[in-house]
């Protein structure tokens, strides 16, 4: 993975937001060479506190393939997909040398960068029941939900830049999930980042 990133904004806020910057890392990025160093380079200049939410990536893709071949109850697949986020979260926390947490870090926290154990966070206080069940709700919407609950901003870190800037159209195009435009409604700041392509 190139350590250079291209960045942009999808929703811009005039007033500053008090909560943490929620950094949603697409699970597909974890299959790229040297992903940990690339991610560390992206995070280094960002203002703390940072709360990283990691997607399930290929692990969720495998569940989708199983469900496509032999359909299972939607609630079962939904919870299993969320469970995979706990696996990738532990992987990223270990690779970056940052704590795995079940709540957002405060500005005065000893570790201003942390990875969220999304399954544990969602199952606390009935948060999981707030989200719809189905493949149209993925880690994109979960990260938006985390950011809205924490009063923070959202940075979507993806393998490719958004092909368009409209959130509804991005949901229809598959760059984010189809529920994301609804999940992100409370947010006043949504940015994106993607690796810069290196010429061969």
Closest to 157 measured CA to CA, from 40, 14, 16, 65: 40
Give residue limits of the domains in the chain: 5-195
- Residues with pLDDT less than 50, the chain: 199-200
Q: Which CATH class is domain 5-195?
A: alpha beta
The pLDDT tens digits for 124-161 are 988 999 999 999 999 999 999 999 998 889 999 999 99
Contact 150, 20 (CB under 8 A): yes
pTM of the model as a whole: 0.92
């Amino acid at each position: 993975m190139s350590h250079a990133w291209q960045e942009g904004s999808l929703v811009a806020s005039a007033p500053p937001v008090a909560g943490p910057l929620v950094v949603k890392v697409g699970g597909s990025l974890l299959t790229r060479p040297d992903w940990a160093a690339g991610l560390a380079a992206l995070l280094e200049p960002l203002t703390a506190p940072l709360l990283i939410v990691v997607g399930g990536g290929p692990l969720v893709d495998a569940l989708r393939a199983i469900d496509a071949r032999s359909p299972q109850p939607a609630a079962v697949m939904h919870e299993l997909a969320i469970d995979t986020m706990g696996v990738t979260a532990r992987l990223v926390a270990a690779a970056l040398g940052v704590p795995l947490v079940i709540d957002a870090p405060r500005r005065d926290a000893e570790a201003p960068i942390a990875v969220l154990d999304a399954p544990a966070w969602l199952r606390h206080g009935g948060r999981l029941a707030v989200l719809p069940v189905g493949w149209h709700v993925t880690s994109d919407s979960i990260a938006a939900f985390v950011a809205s609950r924490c009063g923070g901003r959202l940075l979507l870190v993806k393998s490719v830049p958004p092909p368009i800037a409209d959130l509804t159209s991005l949901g229809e195009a598959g760059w984010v999930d189809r529920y994301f435009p609804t999940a992100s409604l409370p947010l006043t700041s949504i940015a994106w980042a993607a690796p810069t392509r290196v010429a061969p």
